[in-house]
């Protein structure tokens, strides 16, 4: 009872603020609503007893990425790009993408029972007190079963980081000379 | 309705604790401010606040009342909603993160969260959103420069702080706050001795994260009036202030838990030092005796009476600490009481270091701050994580003595850091010779 109450609360907040995030004109307001969406998603993670994901969501997305977003928004002039035409064209593309995504989700929900594992509706779940510690389970599967994907992802990120550093460095040199 | 009742039945204790935190932390923060002013006065050979109450002891309450009844001004061109909301974010983040802290073995607010330490760090870092949004919403140049500075500072120092925490987490092997302290008890040593560089990095990063001098660029009075809170007045300003000081307590608690042994007393496993368990009561009683001694020397009658009142309070607390030793049925309370004493003592010591540094060191320039963060602190923290890992491998795989391994790796880290400083110095010399005026895009 309490669980579903919490779920509907967080889900409602997430959906509502996501809608507000897309429709607001002021970019900072959009960012604030994106933060609310992310926090509500984190709340859903916590409601599902995925406390590690909950904390990672808060630290990475809300504490890290959103701070950078707002930083960039503050440094860039906000009123110029809104009037440019190519951003208006994006509406149709976005609408198409959203339509395809919505159809996809609807299809999965409809076909859920036929998917392996009985679909999305979990009938019996373990009691939250008996679940093994979340972070340790995650670490174990990341560093044993999914070691290769993990390493690939980290190498990719490293390459991106090195690339960013190299790009920043090159520009500085040409500026100096 | 039933669900609500059941919820209240299971969680009433936590809810009460939450209310207590919200009610008490502002008071504590106010007194931390008083202590800071008194310390500053002492270091500058002044007396500090003396007017309100004996030795200014009622000053925080007077300040709070003054701030409460001040007019709450919202600038005309400000974004009213965000301006109204931003200080609340700052304070709520600091108070919420306090919820997961452990003040003693059985003395905590929320239940034992499995990722407690991450929760505390993550939620307390949300307070920066309040600073950034408040600075933006004020629609003032000083505010927005303060906000941008604080963002840049957060991004650079949060990385170093996070990496510094990892060294303690590696040593304890868990994210649970109680288990981290238990690991220090099982290892017979505080992690500050095993990972001194990690502690140092965290100390520096935490000063930067709480926006305190010498890293108080976001609110540098001499450059930016008051930085992000220039336009704030009255109670909203007080909320920012409160958030900042609550955040200081949170940061100090995290450092205490991770590096200073949490609620453990010094030498927790040495039996002939068991008399240290009586130390809390003795220390508090000693403070009381000192108050009685000073009472005779006060110039005014009010002050004599007040000194006696403080002394009696100290004796009462000391008596509470002694009661469990006299009545054995109360013996169960000993670890909690002593744990809280040691924990708060360590937190107070950490905050004292903060204040000491603030009154000793001059403020950094912004580019120096960025250089320190990116060129020295972050590489140092990364090398430190690496070397703590190597030390643990040496111990578990090759049977090297833990102390030897840690000393070797610490020396290695220090060597790397000295090399980094050398590199940095050379680079600064090169750039300053290339361009006489250093470009500084963030400075006001």
Q: Of B331, B302, B362, B230, whose CA–CA distance to B54 is shortest?
A: B302
What's the DSSP call for residue B300?
S
Judged by a CB distance cut-off of 8 A, whether residue B408 touches chain A is no
**Predicted local distance difference test score (pLDDT) of residue B94:** 87
Q: Do A176 and B148 touch (CB under 8 A)?
A: no
Which residues does chain B have within 8 Å of residue A68's beta carbon, measured at their own beta carbons?
A: 155
Which residues are registered as beta bridge partners of B107? B104
- N residues, chain A: 177
Give the tokens for residue B122. 């993550």
CA distance B126 to chain A (A): 6
Kind plus residue range of the DSSP H or E element containing A115: none
- Report whether B123 contacts A58 (CB < 8 A): yes
Q: Of B122, B128, B201, whose CA–CA distance to B160 is shortest?
A: B201
Q: Do A51 and B126 touch (CB under 8 A)?
A: no
**Predicted local distance difference test score (pLDDT) of residue A115:** 64
Q: Of B60, B49, B50, whose CA–CA distance to B24 is shortest?
A: B60
Judged by a CB distance cut-off of 8 A, whether residue B122 touches chain A is yes
The CA-atom distances, in angstroms, between B178 and each of B6, B81, B101, B174, B198 are 27, 40, 9, 9, 20
**Predicted local distance difference test score (pLDDT) of residue A87:** 60
The CA-atom distances, in angstroms, between B166 and each of B161, B211, B370 are 9, 22, 22
Q: How many CB atoms are located within 10 Å of the residue A77 CB?
A: 6
CA R_g for chain A: 21
Q: Which of A19-23, A81-85, A137-141, B150-154 has the lowest mean pLDDT?
A: A81-85
Which residues does chain A have within 8 Å of residue B1's beta carbon, measured at their own beta carbons?
A: none
Kind plus residue range of the DSSP H or E element containing B102: strand B102-104
Mean of pLDDT values over A33-41: 91
In chain B, what are the helix, strand and coil shares in percent, each to the nearest 5?
Answer: 75, 0, 20
Which burial class, exposed, middle or buried, applies to B234 when counting CB atoms under 10 A from its CB (0-12, 13-18, 19+)?
middle
Q: Of B217, B218, B144, B227, whose CA–CA distance to A78 is shortest?
A: B144
**Predicted local distance difference test score (pLDDT) of residue A103:** 93
What's the DSSP call for residue B439?
P
Residue B316: strand, helix, or coil: helix
Looking from the CA of A79 toward its CB, the CA atoms found within 13 Å total 0
Structural domain boundaries in chain B:
16-69, 70-264+358-434, 271-357
Q: Which of A56, A70, A133 sits opposite B132 (nearest CB)?
A: A70
- Report whether B378 contacts B163 (CB < 8 A): yes
Q: Of B129, B134, B125, B131, whose CA–CA distance to B94 is shortest?
A: B125
In chain A, what are the helix, strand and coil shares in percent, each to the nearest 5?
Answer: 85, 0, 15
CA distance B7 to chain A (A): 8
Confidence grade of residue A125 (pLDDT, cut at 50, 70, 90) = low
Kind plus residue range of the DSSP H or E element containing B104: strand B102-104
DSSP string, B183-247: HHHHTTS-HHHH-HHHHHHHHHHHHHHTT-TTS-GGG-HHHHTTGGGTT--HHHHHHHHHHHHHH
For residue range A41-57, what is the model confidence (pLDDT) as tens digits? 998 888 877 788 888 88
Q: Report the residue of B1, B97, B175, B442 to disrupt the A interface, i.e. the one with the largest count of A CBs within 10 Å.
A: B175
Torsion sign across C-alpha atoms B147, B150, B156, B161: negative
Residues on A contacting B at a C-beta cutoff of 8 Å:
1-2, 5, 26, 28-29, 32, 35, 51-52, 54-56, 58-59, 62-64, 66-68, 70-71, 74-75, 133-135, 176
Give Cα A19 to chain centroid, integer Å: 15
Q: Of B163, B336, B352, B366, whose CA–CA distance to B262 is shortest?
A: B336
Q: Of B331, B198, B326, B180, whose CA–CA distance to B263 is shortest?
A: B180
Q: Which of B82, B114, B152 sits opposite A51 (nearest CB)?
A: B114
Cα–Cα distance between B382 and B377 in angstroms, integer?
A: 9
Which residues does chain A have within 8 Å of residue B125's beta carbon, measured at their own beta carbons?
A: 59, 63
**Predicted local distance difference test score (pLDDT) of residue A159:** 94
Per-residue pLDDT tens, chain B, 444 aa: give them.
Answer: 677 787 777 777 778 877 888 888 888 888 888 888 888 888 888 888 877 777 778 888 888 888 888 887 778 877 778 888 888 888 888 888 888 887 777 666 766 777 888 888 888 888 888 888 888 888 888 888 888 888 788 878 888 888 888 888 888 888 888 888 888 888 777 888 778 888 888 998 888 888 777 877 767 667 777 777 777 887 888 888 888 888 888 889 889 888 888 787 777 777 777 777 777 778 888 888 888 887 777 777 777 887 888 888 888 888 887 777 777 776 777 777 778 888 888 888 999 998 888 888 888 877 778 888 888 888 888 888 888 888 888 777 777 777 777 777 778 888 887 887 787 777 766 665 555 445 555 544
**Predicted local distance difference test score (pLDDT) of residue B71:** 82
Q: Which of A55, A74, A134 sits opposite B136 (nearest CB)?
A: A74
Confidence grade of residue A14 (pLDDT, cut at 50, 70, 90) = very high
- Report whether B146 contacts B224 (CB < 8 A): yes
Which pTM does this prediction carry? 0.82
Give the tokens for residue B190. 């505080």
The B residues from 81 to 100 touching A (CB cutoff 8 Å) are: 82
**Predicted local distance difference test score (pLDDT) of residue B444:** 45
- Report whether B89 contacts B153 (CB < 8 A): no
Cα–Cα distance between A119 and A108 in angstroms, integer?
A: 9
Which residues are registered as beta bridge partners of B102? B108
Q: Do A67 and B147 touch (CB under 8 A)?
A: no
Cα–Cα distance between B249 and B25 in angstroms, integer?
A: 9
Q: Which of B6, B121, B148 sits opposite A74 (nearest CB)?
A: B148
Peptide bond into B214 cis (omega under 30): yes
Q: Do B3 and A29 touch (CB under 8 A)?
A: no
Q: Which of B3, B115, B158 sits opposite A135 (nearest CB)?
A: B115
Confidence grade of residue A17 (pLDDT, cut at 50, 70, 90) = very high
The CA-atom distances, in angstroms, between A36 and each of A11, A55, B77, B329 are 11, 15, 25, 49
Q: Do B133 and A28 touch (CB under 8 A)?
A: yes
Confidence grade of residue A123 (pLDDT, cut at 50, 70, 90) = low
CA distance B79 to chain A (A): 10
Which burial class, exposed, middle or buried, applies to B302 when counting CB atoms under 10 A from its CB (0-12, 13-18, 19+)?
exposed
Chain A residue with Cα closest to B152:
A71
In this model, does residue A158 exceed pLDDT 90?
yes
Q: How many CB atoms are located within 10 Å of the residue B320 CB?
A: 15
Which burial class, exposed, middle or buried, applies to B36 when counting CB atoms under 10 A from its CB (0-12, 13-18, 19+)?
buried
Looking from the CA of B22 toward its CB, the CA atoms found within 13 Å total 10
Give Cα B356 to chain centroid, integer Å: 14
**Predicted local distance difference test score (pLDDT) of residue A77:** 64
Cα–Cα distance between A79 and A87 in angstroms, integer?
A: 13
Q: How many CB atoms are located within 10 Å of the residue B381 CB?
A: 28
Give Cα A70 to chain centroid, integer Å: 16
Cα–Cα distance between A158 and B428 in angstroms, integer?
A: 27
């Amino acid at each position: 009872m309490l669980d579903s109450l919490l779920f509907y609360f967080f889900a409602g907040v997430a959906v509502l603020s996501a809608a507000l995030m897309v429709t607001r004109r002021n970019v900072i307001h959009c960012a604030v609503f994106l933060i609310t969406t992310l926090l509500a998603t984190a709340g859903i993670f916590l409601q599902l007893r995925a406390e590690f994901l909950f904390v990672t969501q808060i630290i990475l997305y809300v504490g890290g990425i959103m701070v950078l977003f707002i930083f960039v928004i503050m440094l860039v002039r906000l009123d110029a790009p809104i009037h440019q035409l190519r951003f208006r064209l994006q509406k149709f593309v976005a609408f198409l993408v959203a339509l395809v995504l919505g159809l996809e989700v609807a299809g999965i929900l409809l076909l859920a029972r036929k998917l392996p594992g009985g679909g999305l509706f979990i009938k019996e779940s373990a009691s939250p007190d008996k679940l093994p510690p979340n972070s340790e389970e995650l670490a174990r599967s990341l560093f044993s079963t999914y070691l290769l994907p993990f390493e690939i992802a980290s190498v990719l990120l490293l390459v991106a980081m090195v690339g960013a550093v190299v790009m920043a460095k090159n520009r500085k040199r040409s500026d100096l000379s | 309705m039933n669900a609500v009742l059941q919820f209240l039945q299971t969680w009433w204790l936590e809810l009460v604790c939450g209310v207590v935190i919200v009610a008490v932390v502002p008071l504590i923060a106010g007194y931390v401010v008083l202590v800071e002013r008194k310390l500053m006065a002492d270091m500058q050979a002044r007396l500090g606040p003396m007017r309100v109450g004996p030795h200014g002891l009622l000053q925080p309450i007077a300040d709070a009342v003054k701030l409460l009844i001040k007019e709450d001004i919202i600038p005309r061109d400000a974004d009213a909603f965000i301006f109204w909301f931003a200080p609340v974010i700052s304070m709520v983040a600091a108070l919420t993160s306090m919820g997961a802290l452990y003040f003693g073995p059985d003395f905590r607010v929320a239940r034992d969260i499995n990722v407690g330490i991450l929760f505390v760090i993550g939620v307390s870092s949300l307070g920066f959103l309040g600073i950034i949004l408040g600075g933006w919403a004020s629609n003032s140049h000083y505010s927005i420069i303060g906000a941008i500075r604080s963002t840049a500072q957060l991004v650079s120092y949060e990385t170093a702080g996070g990496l510094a925490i990892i060294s303690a987490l590696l040593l304890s092997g868990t994210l649970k706050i109680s288990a981290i302290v238990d690991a220090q008890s099982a290892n017979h040593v505080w992690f500050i001795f095993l990972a001194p560089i990690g502690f140092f990095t965290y100390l520096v990063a935490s000063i930067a994260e709480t926006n305190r001098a010498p890293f108080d660029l976001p609110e540098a009075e001499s450059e930016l009036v008051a930085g992000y809170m220039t336009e704030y007045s009255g109670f909203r300003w007080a909320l920012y202030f409160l958030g900042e000081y609550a955040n200081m307590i949170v940061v100090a608690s995290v450092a205490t838990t991770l590096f200073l042994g949490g609620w453990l007393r010094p030498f927790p496993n040495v039996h002939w030092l068991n008399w240290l368990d009586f130390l809390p009561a003795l220390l508090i009683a000693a403070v009381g005796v000192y108050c009685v001694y000073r009472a005779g020397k006060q110039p005014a009658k009010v002050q004599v009476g007040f000194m006696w009142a403080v002394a009696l309070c100290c004796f009462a607390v000391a008596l509470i600490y002694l009661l469990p030793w006299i009545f054995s049925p109360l013996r169960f309370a000993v670890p909690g009481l002593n744990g809280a004493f040691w924990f708060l003592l360590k937190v107070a010591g950490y905050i004292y270091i903060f204040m000491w540094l603030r009154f000793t060191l001059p403020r950094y320039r912004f580019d120096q701050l960025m250089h320190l963060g990116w060129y020295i602190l972050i590489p140092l923290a990364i090398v430190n994580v690496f070397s703590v890992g190597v030390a643990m491998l040496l111990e578990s795989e090759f049977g090297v003595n833990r102390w030897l391994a840690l000393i070797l790796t610490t020396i290695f880290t220090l060597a790397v850091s000295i090399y980094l400083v050398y590199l940095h110095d050379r680079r600064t010399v090169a750039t300053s010779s290339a361009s006489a005026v250093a470009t500084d895009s963030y400075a006001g």
